[in-house]
Amino acid sequence: MAEFDYYEILGIERNASDQEIKRAYRNMVRKYHPDVAEDKEKAQEEMIKVNEAYAVLSDADKRAYYDSYGQAPGAGPSGGFGGFGGFGGFGGFGDIFESFMNMGGRRDERQPRRGRDIRLGVTITLEEAYTGCTKEVEYKVHESCLTCKGKLTVEPDGVEVCPTCRGAGRVQKQINIGFGTLAQVVECPTCGGRGQKVVKPCPECKGQGVVEVTKRLDIKIPAGIETGNGLRLPDCGEPGANGGPRGSVIVIVEVAEDKRFVREGADLLYRKNITFTQAALGAEVEIEQVTGKSEKLRIPAGTQPGATFRIKGKGMPEFRSARFGDLHVVVQVIVPTKLNDKQKKLLEEFQEAGPQEAKEPSKGFFGRIHDAIFG
Ligand SMILES: [Zn+2]
Ligand SMILES: [Zn+2]
């Protein structure tokens, strides 16, 4: 006798029909699916047994062998799961589980299913990201056909039972899983799982049951949003099946590069050009803000190129928070390229007036920028 009883694993009688085996298997797949199982590790272990039991019992020859000898054909003296060689070489349990879920168990056409999500992109300016904004998006989505009300046909004899699956919506397919073949239940390729063949399609939707329409939506984009942030709008996506809910519209936001500011999270970096006399003597300068307003900044005498000044709270608002980042001003000192006669004369006098320092004090230019951005 095998260490484990395949009939017990699937919870069926020894005289169970093929249909009962299939049903039991599907129930197990649902029961042990990682999305629903509480103990995922245990569920995975159970699924390995379930898969093996189903592989044997769904195959008439293997089942007959098992019924006679109490072990799977080809199994060693111990029988059971070790004798099958495990699932080694198959790429792990995850693969087999996924392939079952995707092709068999999960796509039961009679179950309510949520519709697909629709992903859209929207580009906004930095200023719009600062204030928050509303953007209109346009997209194509399917709606139930009003002419046939989703019945695919308007004729009473417009649909027939699908000849491939005889109305079941699913067919069995043999797949090779390394140590043998496994009967797998997949969606019927002819009818796509509906179990029906449309012979007189609805003229409006061509027998699809749905028509494509263009929709517009106003998207409220909150302040502080960053490139790559997504906004989900539930129930605006593709329609569900069998009474399932619609999918979502997911809007992925891109904040366009700004000519004036470099953004680092909620902090902003701004480059301010000043004259070399302003740098040497000190000055009060105007600093532009994202909103267009200006802010005054006091530059002390002896300011070096690359010096950075932090204006607290004048950066971007933080996403979904009441806080604001800082505005970092990097000073660039512009050396004059044209001097009038008087300026030239004065500078020559300046040069003769005393010795000048040509060595950069303390940290270098890049060191200070780094400090300004990363604190
Ligand atoms: Zn229609
Ligand atoms: Zn079919």
Nearest ligand to the CA atom of 149:
1
In a domain, 278, yes or no: yes
Q: Which residues of the chain fall below pLDDT 50?
A: 1-2, 76-107
Could you tell me the distance, in angstroms and rounded to a whole number, from the CA of residue 30 to the centre of ligand 2? Answer: 22
Nearest ligand to the CA atom of 150:
1
Q: Count how many domains the chain has.
A: 3
pLDDT digits (tens, 9 = 90+) for 220-244: 999 999 999 989 999 999 988 778 8
The pLDDT assigned to 241 comes to: 79
In a domain, 186, yes or no: yes
Could you please report the per-residue DSSP string of 9-78?
HHT--TT--HHHHHHHHHHHHHHT-TTT-SSHHHHHHHHHHHHHHHHHHTSHHHHHHHHHHSS-TT--TT
pLDDT digits (tens, 9 = 90+) for 5-23: 888 889 898 888 888 898 8
Domain that holds residue 193: 118-255
Is there a single domain that holds both residue 227 and residue 279? no
Is there a single domain that holds both residue 97 and residue 122? no
Secondary structure letter of residue 192 according to DSSP: T
Is there a single domain that holds both residue 247 and residue 123? yes
Could you tell me the distance, in angstroms and rounded to a whole number, from the CA of residue 160 to the centre of ligand 2? Answer: 10
Last residue of a domain, one of 255, 283, 308: 255
Could you tell me the distance, in angstroms and rounded to a whole number, from the CA of residue 14 to the centre of ligand 2? Answer: 30
The pLDDT assigned to 361 comes to: 62
In a domain, 113, yes or no: no
Could you tell me the distance, in angstroms and rounded to a whole number, from the CA of residue 190 to the centre of ligand 2? Answer: 5
Is there a single domain that holds both residue 283 and residue 358? yes
Tokens 């329609």 locate to: 239
Could you tell me the distance, in angstroms and rounded to a whole number, from the CA of residue 107 to the centre of ligand 2? Answer: 13
The pLDDT assigned to 282 comes to: 95
Could you tell me the distance, in angstroms and rounded to a whole number, from the CA of residue 343 to the centre of ligand 2? Answer: 90
Is there a single domain that holds both residue 247 and residue 265? no
Last residue of a domain, one of 105, 135, 157: 105
CATH number at residue 207: 2.60.260.20
Closest CA relative to residue 23, chosen from 6, 14, 36, 11: 11
Nearest ligand to the CA atom of 160:
2
Is there a single domain that holds both residue 124 and residue 13? no
In a domain, 110, yes or no: no
The pLDDT assigned to 128 comes to: 96
Is there a single domain that holds both residue 73 and residue 122? no
Secondary structure letter of residue 104 according to DSSP: I
In a domain, 111, yes or no: no
Is there a single domain that holds both residue 250 and residue 297? no
Last residue of a domain, one of 207, 233, 255: 255
In a domain, 149, yes or no: yes
Could you tell me the distance, in angstroms and rounded to a whole number, from the CA of residue 192 to the centre of ligand 2? Answer: 6
Nearest ligand to the CA atom of 163:
2
Could you tell me the distance, in angstroms and rounded to a whole number, from the CA of residue 367 to the centre of ligand 1? Answer: 67
In a domain, 13, yes or no: yes
Could you tell me the distance, in angstroms and rounded to a whole number, from the CA of residue 96 to the centre of ligand 2? Answer: 24
Could you tell me the distance, in angstroms and rounded to a whole number, from the CA of residue 91 to the centre of ligand 1? Answer: 44
Is there a single domain that holds both residue 137 and residue 15? no
The pLDDT assigned to 272 comes to: 94
The pLDDT assigned to 181 comes to: 75
pLDDT above 90 as % of the chain:
44
CATH number at residue 50: 1.10.287.110
Nearest ligand to the CA atom of 151:
1
Is there a single domain that holds both residue 201 and residue 321? no
The pLDDT assigned to 341 comes to: 96
* Cα distance between residue 97 and residue 34, in whole Å: 10
Is there a single domain that holds both residue 290 and residue 352? yes
* Cα distance between residue 10 and residue 20, in whole Å: 10
Could you tell me the distance, in angstroms and rounded to a whole number, from the CA of residue 161 to the centre of ligand 1? Answer: 18
The pLDDT assigned to 337 comes to: 92
Could you tell me the distance, in angstroms and rounded to a whole number, from the CA of residue 140 to the centre of ligand 2? Answer: 28
Residue 10 CB coordination number (10 Å): 23
Is there a single domain that holds both residue 207 and residue 275? no
In a domain, 1, yes or no: no
Contact between 214 and 139 (Cβ < 8 Å):
yes
Residue 16 CB coordination number (10 Å): 17
Could you tell me the distance, in angstroms and rounded to a whole number, from the CA of residue 187 to the centre of ligand 1? Answer: 23
Closest CA relative to residue 105, chosen from 31, 182, 198: 31
